[in-house]
A and B are shown apart, each in its own frame.
Chain A
């Protein structure tokens, strides 16, 4: 469904990503991990066609570079790491998710209205819908953007560190929403994360970037069995009952 073939990105003389090859599994949550500066956000920018790159990114065998932007927006949605906070209501934001399906006048049809209502309901933000984004907490804002993505109704959802500014409770709630999207909406989710403990909890598959290369690609179980995270991030593994978690050494 989603394939990255020999992808390389150079900034000036520095190679940010080199010969990245990935095959994302359908209807699974794939978490992209890596140290700061490993090229995670650069990869997301390539997937969103925001920066030039060499190589190919294929969606259903079609090269994203050759796909029309509106067509792409019907299949792939992307939320970058930093989200703006304009003075618009949550409902207006969610309605923008229908944009790829509308003509130039952007007039919503009944079908669009229905999908907007459903998206708001699914994420559980009915009580926020009339409030403006600049009145919301970081977590509420992320949920509102996730609702917009749901209204966009794409098979593939790409999120760049969506839980960065959330406290633990919101983070857990947000990650459960991702699981819900995978299970109930059959979404293929590719999410960049920095919290290893939450990543192994939510991920079906892990991709680990190290200095611009793919260090590991495989199931979460495989990564844990082979102590991949310990090697890359220099962390110590602890186990409490069935729960595994990592902490910095020392």
Chain B
């Protein structure tokens, strides 16, 4: 609701700073890598005006990773923000709606029974994640669709699926290593053409969440008050869970399990711009993108020629930053 306050001005400044930081990090991601390139060469490479090797490096390696990181940051932070808001549980992340376990189980099943269809793994992971969310929603709906039943249904299904993943990995050791790399999360193999569909899905989820954000704010007053204020709580919660799953599943389909972003970034966003969902979504999207792009850039340059997956780098960068925010200001978790 458009109530002008000092905090809104502060939010404006923070968002502006984040935009500048995001542009700076994006520039760094294009500039730095195993091949030394000048700013001029990077720009020329982007527009197909440089030597062929520079064009290939910029357009086929660095740009896809940059876009993948940007989308992953937005998708996972949107997913986490929605989940934490509609379940009123600050520990919620994409894992509680079965995204991680669903994608993982579908992947190990396919690799175990139909190893020849490996190139369709991103689609398989997406389907596994999204269908699991639908199943959790179906179960929660049968039990009343309250925020607690959603969480409990998610936990129950996630436990079953995780046990099944462990079982498959136990009987087929090849699966264990494939699942291990999937579960760490990486955007090193991503190609531009693979990002179109996830990008559209993340954009749709982001737009839905922005449109619904003011209604989601009212949920913080509890289901009963929200209902008294004219909010269709069950419908809103279901719509948000589907949008959340859409965004997280899209990211899982090409980047594996980068669960950290979905859990921590909404907290960072709230510490920076407050509890309201609209600024949290904008701030979270940028913070998430900055973290993923920065994590990927550092991971592929700092220890070259060894590449550290973005999932590990993000945990190393994001967790201390999050702790810093916790110590720096009075923040209500």
Which residue numbers of A lie inside 8 Å of B, CB to CB?
45, 48-50, 69-70, 72-74, 76-80, 82-84, 86-89, 91-93, 95-100, 102, 104-108, 116, 130, 134, 145, 152
| CA A95 to CA B218, docked complex, whole Å | 10
Shortest Cβ distance from residue A67 to the other chain B in the assembled complex, whole angstroms:
11
Contact of A76 among B7, B225, B228, B231 (CB under 8 A): B228
Indicate if the CB atoms of A79 and B228 lie closer than 8 Å: yes
Chain A residue with Cβ nearest B278? A106
26 A–B contacts, CB within 8 A, in A order: A50-B223, A69-B230, A73-B230, A74-B230, A77-B228, A78-B225, A79-B225, A83-B221, A83-B222, A83-B225, A84-B220, A86-B221, A86-B275, A87-B274, A88-B217, A88-B276, A89-B3, A92-B1, A92-B3, A93-B221, A99-B1, A102-B1, A105-B211, A105-B214, A106-B214, A107-B2
Indicate if the CB atoms of B214 and A100 lie closer than 8 Å: no
Indicate if the CB atoms of A78 and B231 lie closer than 8 Å: no
Give chain B's interface residue range (CB within 8 Å of chain A): 20 to 34
| CA A104 to CA B332, docked complex, whole Å | 28
Chain A residue with Cβ nearest B1? A95
**For window 191-246 of chain B, which residues contact chain A by CB distance below 8 Å?**
211-212, 214-215, 217-218, 220-225, 227-232
- Residues of chain A with a CB closer than 8 A to B232's CB: 69
Q: Enumerate the 8 nearest inter-chain pairs by beta-carbon distance, A residue then B residue, closest first.
A: A73-B230, A106-B214, A100-B230, A70-B230, A86-B220, A78-B228, A95-B1, A80-B224
Indicate if the CB atoms of B332 and A134 lie closer than 8 Å: yes
- Residues of chain A with a CB closer than 8 A to B221's CB: 83-84, 86, 93, 96
Q: Given contacts A95-B1, A98-B1, A134-B332, are A152 and B220 in contact (CB under 8 A)?
A: no
Our count of residue pairs bridging A and B at CB distance below 8 angstroms stands at: 95
Shortest Cβ distance from residue A188 to the other chain B in the assembled complex, whole angstroms:
15
Chain B residue with Cβ nearest A51? B144
Chain B residue with Cβ nearest A92? B3
- Residues of chain B with a CB closer than 8 A to A84's CB: 88, 220-222, 225
| CA A85 to CA B217, docked complex, whole Å | 13
Chain B residue with Cβ nearest A45? B224
Indicate if the CB atoms of A99 and B231 lie closer than 8 Å: yes
Shortest Cβ distance from residue B235 to the other chain A in the assembled complex, whole angstroms:
9
Indicate if the CB atoms of A78 and B224 lie closer than 8 Å: yes
| CA A152 to CA B3, docked complex, whole Å | 16
Indicate if the CB atoms of A48 and B227 lie closer than 8 Å: yes
Shortest Cβ distance from residue A149 to the other chain B in the assembled complex, whole angstroms:
9
B5: CB under 8 A from chain A?
A: yes
- Residues of chain A with a CB closer than 8 A to B2's CB: 107-108
- Residues of chain B with a CB closer than 8 A to A72's CB: 230
Secondary structure at the B interface, as helix, strand, loop or mixed, is loop
Shortest Cβ distance from residue B186 to the other chain A in the assembled complex, whole angstroms:
36
Indicate if the CB atoms of A91 and B5 lie closer than 8 Å: yes
The 8 A CB mask of B302-333 against A (1 = contact, 0 = none) is 00000000000000000000000000000010
Which residue numbers of B lie inside 8 Å of A, CB to CB?
1-3, 5, 7, 88, 211-212, 214-215, 217-218, 220-225, 227-232, 274-276, 332
- Residues of chain A with a CB closer than 8 A to B3's CB: 89, 91-92, 95, 108, 116
| CA A224 to CA B227, docked complex, whole Å | 36
- Residues of chain A with a CB closer than 8 A to B332's CB: 87, 134
| CA A77 to CA B5, docked complex, whole Å | 27
- Residues of chain A with a CB closer than 8 A to B220's CB: 84, 86, 88
| CA A97 to CA B275, docked complex, whole Å | 18
- Residues of chain A with a CB closer than 8 A to B215's CB: 99, 104, 106
- Residues of chain A with a CB closer than 8 A to B5's CB: 89, 91, 130
- Residues of chain B with a CB closer than 8 A to A99's CB: 1, 215, 218, 229-231
- Residues of chain A with a CB closer than 8 A to B276's CB: 88, 92
- Residues of chain B with a CB closer than 8 A to A74's CB: 230
Shortest Cβ distance from residue B36 to the other chain A in the assembled complex, whole angstroms:
48
Shortest Cβ distance from residue B13 to the other chain A in the assembled complex, whole angstroms:
19
Chain B residue with Cβ nearest A108? B2
Shortest Cβ distance from residue B281 to the other chain A in the assembled complex, whole angstroms:
14
Shortest Cβ distance from residue B147 to the other chain A in the assembled complex, whole angstroms:
12
Shortest Cβ distance from residue B4 to the other chain A in the assembled complex, whole angstroms:
10
- Residues of chain A with a CB closer than 8 A to B228's CB: 48, 73, 76-79
Indicate if the CB atoms of A96 and B227 lie closer than 8 Å: no
Contact of B218 among A78, A96, A116 (CB under 8 A): A96
- Extra contacts, 7 of them, besides A89-B3, A100-B230 (Cβ < 8 A), are A77-B228, A82-B222, A88-B220, A91-B3, A92-B3, A106-B214, A116-B3
| CA A45 to CA B170, docked complex, whole Å | 50
| CA A134 to CA B230, docked complex, whole Å | 24
Shortest Cβ distance from residue A126 to the other chain B in the assembled complex, whole angstroms:
14
Shortest Cβ distance from residue B130 to the other chain A in the assembled complex, whole angstroms:
25
- Residues of chain B with a CB closer than 8 A to A82's CB: 222
Contact of A96 among B88, B211, B229, B275 (CB under 8 A): B229
| CA A105 to CA B214, docked complex, whole Å | 7
Chain B residue with Cβ nearest A91? B3
- Residues of chain A with a CB closer than 8 A to B275's CB: 86-88
Indicate if the CB atoms of B1 and A96 lie closer than 8 Å: yes
| CA A74 to CA B224, docked complex, whole Å | 15
